[in-house]
Amino acid sequence: MTLLQVVERALEEDIGTGDVTTNLCVPADRNASGRFVVREQVIVAGVEVLPLLYDDIDLGAPSGSCLENGQEIASVRGPARQLLKLERVALNFLQHLSGIATQARKYVDAVAGTSCRILDTRKTIPGLRELEKMAVRAGGATNHRMGLFDAVLIKNNHITAAGGVRAALDATKNVGLPVQIEVRTRAELEEALAGGATKLLLDNLSPAEAKDWIRYIAGRATVELSGGITLDSVRAYAEAGPDFISVGALTHSVRAVDIHFQLELA
């Protein structure tokens, strides 16, 4: 689904057969302007959707900008009815996506000075993955795979279904895609390394356990940590020495930030 299709679907969902309140209350010939203003410190994301909604627009802050309370993201002009009709769809995108970017920046800042990078996951709202991953990038974090099609990630259930670590790895040789494997025990770790694994996912370890396992791996494979890692604990995990930490909370449970649309008559 393209970005335009996502926006069109959102408009169809909200407006339906028409904005009855606006059409009843607002004269058709009345013009207005509007400003999108933040009401807290945010990392802006989702600005890319605004030109798909508005014909007459000035963008004041690109995605990735850090804005303080009272600063403006963009201003728009047009028929008052049109601006009111589009208000909620525009705010839904900006508030949700800026929430993701703001959360991502907090995690990135928390691991600053280490060699670890923060990754997102596939725990996204169906239909919004491309936008949410754009927001993750706006916050300074890194995208993991987009879907099931662009990289191999062998997880515990794949290992079980394949008949073991070695069988799963052997089945993915020469696939032409990045191959990563999750290991749950030291025995699986040793088997994965012996089988030529170059990308490892270590799940649900404590920071001390992660440090011990990473010391044992000794650079033979890149290491990603995941599983219940929070903003409070991410620094300790980063200092254990992984290459990556993946955080589902960047997208699956983020708080929408406070952004306001201020309408003024022309």
- Taking only the tens place, the pLDDT of each residue in 15-56 is 999 999 999 999 999 999 999 999 999 999 999 999 999 999
Catalytically annotated residues: 88, 123, 155, 182, 203
pLDDT of residue 262: 98
pLDDT of residue 1: 80
What pTM was computed for the model? 0.96
pLDDT of residue 246: 98
Overall size of the chain counted in residues: 266
CA–CA distance, 60 with 75 (Å, rounded to integer): 8
- Taking only the tens place, the pLDDT of each residue in 24-34 is 999 999 999 99
CA–CA distance, 239 with 115 (Å, rounded to integer): 9
CA–CA distance, 211 with 34 (Å, rounded to integer): 52
- Taking only the tens place, the pLDDT of each residue in 120-162 is 999 999 999 999 999 999 999 999 999 999 999 999 999 999 9
Q: What angle do CA 2, 4, 8 make, to 5 degrees?
A: 120
CATH code of 3-108+255-265, in short, is 3.90.1170.20
- Taking only the tens place, the pLDDT of each residue in 163-207 is 999 999 999 999 999 999 999 999 999 999 999 999 999 999 999
CATH code of 111-250, in short, is 3.20.20.70
- Taking only the tens place, the pLDDT of each residue in 208-227 is 999 999 999 999 999 999 99
For 145-164, the three-class secondary structure string (H helix, E strand, C coil) is CCCCCCCEEECHHHHHHHCC
pLDDT score of 230 more than 90? yes
CATH code 3.20.20.70 region(s) in the chain: 111-250
Q: pLDDT confidence of 266, banded at 50, 70, 90?
A: confident
Find all residues with CB under 8 Å of 162, minimum gap 6, and list them. Answer: 154, 168, 171
- Taking only the tens place, the pLDDT of each residue in 67-95 is 999 999 999 999 999 999 999 999 999 99
CA–CA distance, 164 with 157 (Å, rounded to integer): 10
